[in-house]
Amino acid sequence: MSAKPTKYIFVTGGVTSSLGKGIIASSLAKLLQARGLSVTIQKFDPYINVDPGTLNPYEHGECYVTDDGAETDLDLGHYERFLNVPTSQANNITTGRVYYNVITAERRGDYLGKTVQVIPHITDEIKRSIVALGETGKFDIVITEIGGCVGDIESLPFIEAARQLKYEIGEHNTLFIHLTLIPYLSSAGELKTKPTQHSVRTLSESGIQADILVCRTEHPLPPDMRKKIALFCNVQPNDVIEAIDAETIYDVPLLMKKEKLDLRALYKLDLYNDVEPDLEQWKDFLGRLKNPSEQVTIGLIGKYVELKDAYKSIAEAFIHAGAHNECKVKLEWIQSETLATDHYDERLAHLDGILVAPGFGERGLEGKINAVRFARENGIPFFGICLGMQMSVIEFARNVAGLEGASSTELDKDTPNPVIDMMEEQKKVTEKGGTMRLGAYTCELKKGSLAHQAYGKLSISERHRHRYEFNNRFLEPLQKAGLVATGINPETRLVEIVELPKHPFFIGVQFHPELKSTVMTPHPLFVHFVKAALKYSMVKKQALEA
Ligand code: GLN
């Protein structure tokens, strides 16, 4: 890190939501990192929930968990996947958290005698959380993504805080990037700039002049259009950056490099450097991703499959692991409820691998158990994550170990054989927010196990988010019947990994490995699962040809 003060980049959005601010922020961060700068990204979410942990995945997609146990927005997953640097609670702040902190301080008496107001108290708290990242001394640049669209009532305090920060720390220490949409009217055959002009104007009404415009578009922006946007939006033509629809999100850093987004940002922040970004490994990954020599079909059995964002990190982990194996992973999203019939085998027979996904509540669980059974009985590579691991234990208990009616107390409180039960410390918990077993825990692996082979070491750390656990009361009968606990928490003795050594590839993990898979370090369990699926598909092909 240089002796220079930390610089702050803000990314706002206009015209519509879902333009991909998180990907643009991550791509810029990647380019700056590739030039030797140390960068972190922070996300502000303008909703009142203190964190997204209490949100239904259908509402907001996956809840991403950090090492320090914060339940955060899924954009933090992109930040980690692109930068290969862990994030923490400080990287995701919601309106709810800001108010919670201010109200807690008010009750403590910190503002005694004063009227507590949006300005200055809420905006001060927002500024504190931006600058706090800079003050760690770890970063040359902090990129703050402001959720929602400019003009939304909810995001006003965040925009105002950013404006104040620019005023306080000066022109070359802050930078505003506005992401906008240039729609294409097919009837007129034209790209339209008016919505962008309006959105930049709305931003300027809040006292912020956008420094750089990143324009999402389905068609290339001709030079005269860039000039027109520049003129009406009060920026230089080379500060109008084209963000054309990409084949994969992992192309975006290279597209942004071509558009010189990083150079424009550095120039405006007085940080100009002529280091050629080192993107060799990234390009190597893209090459493998785009030129697979094999293909496998993996079934993702889940309850929220209608919204793919609910399993974002799992889908991305397969992209990393697929590229590593030079193998295209075709994910088939299967609603677990549809497997709760006697004909579940018809839906699963063609798969090369079966992943039973994490989840909460009762819906679809019997379908998940059927999927485990099918994988176990037919030697299909199986990977169970969190709830998926729990379902594999239940399936084995019922159908192999003969533990009648075995279940999890999450779905059947009165089961005679609660092989999965609520953790002791969870039984007293009544509040729902931030009360699960969350964040990174150490796990020790059994020598020679599948997990040991995959990780190549005996001690690992993985992230958790759950209330229920393998019930150690049943460890002995289950082990006797052939299920092996191959990963144990050294402090609590909780079972974190189960395997079936007689099966070609059968592993269930209580943690969430998908959260730690990145472009640069694909997760070993996903890598080995894809390898196993590939092997299985080849054996199947050979058998058919014979
Ligand atoms: N519902 C299960 C539990 O709370 C599993 C949670 C999960 O899959 N993240 O233990």
**Which of 386, 464, 499, 523 is labelled catalytic?**
386
Closest protein CA for atom 8 of ligand 1? 358
Taking 90 as the threshold, does the pLDDT of residue 428 lie above it? no
Neighbour order of strands in the sheet with 294-302: 327-335, 294-302, 353-356, 382-385, 506-509, 495-499, 484-488, 437-445, 459-466
Q: Are 93 and 76 in contact (CB under 8 A)?
A: no
Whether 376 is in the pocket of ligand 1, judged by its Cβ within 6 Å, is no
Backbone angles phi, psi at 117, to 5 degrees: -135, 165
Q: Are 95 and 466 in contact (CB under 8 A)?
A: no
Region of poorest pLDDT, from 37-46, 54-63, 241-250, 376-385: 54-63
When pLDDT is cut at 50, 70 and 90, the band that residue 341 belongs to is confident
**Which of 324, 512, 523, 528 is labelled catalytic?**
512
pLDDT for 57: 85
Taking 90 as the threshold, does the pLDDT of residue 153 lie above it? yes
Whether 387 is in the pocket of ligand 1, judged by its Cβ within 6 Å, is yes
Q: From the alpha carbon of 360, which atom of ligand 1 is closest?
A: 1
Kindly state the tokens that stand for 1.
């890190």
Kindly state the tokens that stand for 90.
């400080």
**Sign of torsion over alpha carbons 323, 327, 331, 336:** negative
- Ligand 1 center to 465 CA (angstroms): 7
Residue 15, judged by CB atoms within 10 A of its CB (0-12, 13-18, 19+), counts as: buried
Within 8 A by CB and 6+ apart from 342, the residues are: none
Q: Pick from 62, 65, 390, 420 the residue to mutate for probing ligand 1's pocket: most ligand atoms within 8 Å of its CB.
A: 390
Residue 120 is given by DSSP the state I
**Which of 62, 121, 514, 523 is labelled catalytic?**
514
Residue with tokens 């010189």: 260
Region of poorest pLDDT, from 232-236, 253-257, 420-424, 525-529: 420-424
pLDDT for 1: 46
**In angstroms, rounded to a whole number, what is the distance separating the alpha carbons of residues 271 and 251?**
25
pLDDT for 275: 84
Region 529-535: what's the mean pLDDT?
98
Whether 366 is in the pocket of ligand 1, judged by its Cβ within 6 Å, is no
Whether 30 is in the pocket of ligand 1, judged by its Cβ within 6 Å, is no
Whether cis (ω within 30° of 0) applies to the bond prior to 86 is no
Count Cβ atoms below 10 Å from residue 27 Cβ, excluding itself. Answer: 27
**In angstroms, rounded to a whole number, what is the distance separating the alpha carbons of residues 39 and 7?**
10
pLDDT for 435: 82
Q: Which residue has better confidence, 457 or 429?
A: 457
Q: Which residue has better confidence, 332 or 361?
A: 332
Whether 386 is in the pocket of ligand 1, judged by its Cβ within 6 Å, is yes
Partners of 43 in the beta sheet? 92, 145
pTM score, whole prediction: 0.95
Our answer to whether residue 63 is catalytic in this structure is: no
Whether 31 is in the pocket of ligand 1, judged by its Cβ within 6 Å, is no
When pLDDT is cut at 50, 70 and 90, the band that residue 292 belongs to is very high
Taking 80 as the threshold, does the pLDDT of residue 429 lie above it? no
Residues in the chain: 546
Q: From the alpha carbon of 361, which atom of ligand 1 is closest?
A: 1
Whether 192 is in the pocket of ligand 1, judged by its Cβ within 6 Å, is no
Within 8 A by CB and 6+ apart from 427, the residues are: none
Our answer to whether residue 514 is catalytic in this structure is: yes
Amino acid at 191: L
Whether 357 is in the pocket of ligand 1, judged by its Cβ within 6 Å, is no
Region of poorest pLDDT, from 51-55, 115-119, 468-472, 479-483: 51-55
The closest of 493, 543, 252, 241 to 378, measured between CA atoms, is: 543
- Ligand 1 center to 444 CA (angstroms): 21
Taking 70 as the threshold, does the pLDDT of residue 138 lie above it? yes
Closest protein CA for atom 5 of ligand 1? 387
Residue 159, judged by CB atoms within 10 A of its CB (0-12, 13-18, 19+), counts as: buried
Region of poorest pLDDT, from 44-58, 174-188, 475-489, 496-510: 44-58
Residue 404, judged by CB atoms within 10 A of its CB (0-12, 13-18, 19+), counts as: exposed
Region of poorest pLDDT, from 116-125, 156-165, 182-191, 530-539: 182-191
pLDDT for 3: 58
Region 416-428: what's the mean pLDDT?
88
**Sign of torsion over alpha carbons 171, 177, 178, 181:** positive
Averaged confidence pLDDT in the chain? 95
| pLDDT tens for each residue of 235-280 | 999 999 999 999 999 999 999 999 999 999 999 999 988 888 999 9
Q: Are 297 and 332 in contact (CB under 8 A)?
A: yes
Our answer to whether residue 512 is catalytic in this structure is: yes
DSSP secondary structure string for all residues of 380-416: --EEEETHHHHHHHHHHHHHTS--TT-EETTT-TT-S
Region 295-314: what's the mean pLDDT?
94
